[in-house]
Amino acid sequence: MNPNQSLYDNLGGAEGLRRLVEVFYAKVQLHPQLSPLFPADITPVMEKQFQFLSQFFGGPALFSEQHGHPMMRARHMHVPITPERAEEWLDCMKAALEELGVSEPLRSVLLSRLSGPAHHFVNMPEE
């Protein structure tokens, strides 16, 4: 990990981030608790995730340019997100980072950065 570069650049820029989103959503689609939360055509979700993570990790502000202020918690209020689902989402991301060979300390930094929002989106107690 190069501390003089953004997380976006450390991931390999647009190409690396696009690959992460693809591998991550392949895992989400196979996850028994997460997959029902997503539409059958997950392509638009993947594109928005790519746009958001680009911005969130210090790359181009693609999400804001296309959709305005992220307001991610508000955008997810219609989805029943429990603490357990937040952890399962993070587990899928961890598995995707591992599959792509993202090494330490970058992997831990990325997961730590994503942990805050994942838990901030929780909008219902455990089922």
pLDDT at 113: 95
8 A C-beta contact, residue 98 and residue 53: no
Does 127 reside within a domain?
Answer: no
Q: What is the CATH number of the domain that holds 79?
A: 1.10.490.10
What does the pLDDT look like over 47-81, one tens digit per residue?
Answer: 999 999 999 999 999 887 776 776 665 556 566 78
Q: Which residues contact 14 (CB under 8 A, 6 or more apart)?
A: 54, 59
Does 93 reside within a domain?
Answer: yes
pLDDT at 70: 61
Does 2 reside within a domain?
Answer: no
What does the pLDDT look like over 97-118, one tens digit per residue?
Answer: 999 999 999 999 999 999 998 9
* Residue 14: domain span: 7-120
Does 1 reside within a domain?
Answer: no
Domain count, the chain: 1
Helix crossing, 83-99 with 106-120: angle to 10°?
160
Does 70 reside within a domain?
Answer: yes
Percent of all residues in the chain with a pLDDT value above 90, rounded to a whole number: 68
Is 67 annotated as contributing to ligand binding?
A: no
Does 126 reside within a domain?
Answer: no
Per-residue pLDDT band for 31 (boundaries 50, 70, 90) equals very high
Does 17 reside within a domain?
Answer: yes
